[in-house]
């Protein structure tokens, strides 16, 4: 494999996957499939995106669907994490408004399912999770819900971590490690 398509229009996600997949030595190109994520699971949405981008490009394609699940809210927002409101600030406010008044800590988990689609082969799925807590947003880097997702073992939110540290703890990092361990993707010949 000489190139991998990542089905996303999110620059933060593209940067994160390039970092996570750097050991493969593959160029990773973002392609936004611009489809409606109407699946009933993370796997269904990841497959919708991967299949659409693979059809458009004719190349091996990876897509993910991820969500933040607040345990006191029975997994809300989950599949609706990115569509809870029109801006991330409004999404954060909407989630916090539902949590206020409930006992703390506000336990949560991030879930990521990856779909790998290659021409002529059945799709493959890989899932990773990270358990933590929802807190008031903290400053730092990151995107999405990173500023409000605390990993208790570190005392920091994803946004407060260095990228390499986030990769060790994150749901995407766990899903990518599962994919790499499966041998589904191989290091490019000649890469160091």
Number of other CB atoms surrounding residue 92 within 10 Å: 19
Pairing mode of beta strands 106-117, 124-134: antiparallel
Tokens 């990173």: give the residue: 146
Q: Is 65 a catalytic residue?
A: yes
Which of 64, 65, 74, 90 is catalytic? The answer is 65
Residue 101 preceded by cis peptide, ω within 30? no
CA 157/CA 151 separation, integer angstroms: 6
Pairing mode of beta strands 149-151, 124-134: antiparallel
Is residue 168 classed as helix, strand or coil in its secondary structure?
helix
Give catalytic residue positions: 65
């Amino acid at each position: 494999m000489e190139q991998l398509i990542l089905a996303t229009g999110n620059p933060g996600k593209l940067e994160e996957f390039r970092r996570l997949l750097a050991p493969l030595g593959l160029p990773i190109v973002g392609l936004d499939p611009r489809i409606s994520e109407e699946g009933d699971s993370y796997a269904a949405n990841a497959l919708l995106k991967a299949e659409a981008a693979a059809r458009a490009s004719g190349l091996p394609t990876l897509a993910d669907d991820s969500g933040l699940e607040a345990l006191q809210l029975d997994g809300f927002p989950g599949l609706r994490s990115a569509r809870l409101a029109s801006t991330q600030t409004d999404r954060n406010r909407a989630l916090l408004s539902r949590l206020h008044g409930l006992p703390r800590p506000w336990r949560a988990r991030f879930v990521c399912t990856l779909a790998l689609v290659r021409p002529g082969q059945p799709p493959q799925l890989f899932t990773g999770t990270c358990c933590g807590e929802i807190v008031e947003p903290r400053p730092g880097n990151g995107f999405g819900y990173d500023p409000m997702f605390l990993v208790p073992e570190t005392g920091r939110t994803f946004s407060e971590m260095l990228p390499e540290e986030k990769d060790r703890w994150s749901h995407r990092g766990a899903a990518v490690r599962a994919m790499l361990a499966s041998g589904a993707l191989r290091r490019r010949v000649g890469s160091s």
